[in-house]
Amino acid sequence: VLPLQTDAPPHQVLASYKQLSPPLKDVESGDGFIAGSRNGLSFSVSTTVPRDMPAITNIEVEISE
């Protein structure tokens, strides 16, 4: 799991993963997450906005075989 932080809003972060080239396959997405696979690897990206820092988006990216 790779934790990241950004000042981009969660919907913008998730939109960037939806536009990967080549795109993810078997994509599932919902409120604050996107998951899919690519070249035998599965990707899972989740976002949260900390209550005490609403201008920050926490991102967790997990890549597994």
Give the Cα separation of 48 and 44 in Å (integer).
14
Give the model confidence (pLDDT) of 8-21 as tens digits. 999 999 999 989 88
Three-point CA angle 51, 11, 46, nearest 5°: 65
Mean pLDDT of 27-35: 95
3-state secondary structure of 4: strand
Number of helices and strands (H, E) in the chain? 1, 5
| pLDDT value at 22 more than 90 | no
Give the model confidence (pLDDT) of 40-60 as tens digits. 999 999 999 999 999 999 999
Residue type, position 17, single letter: Y
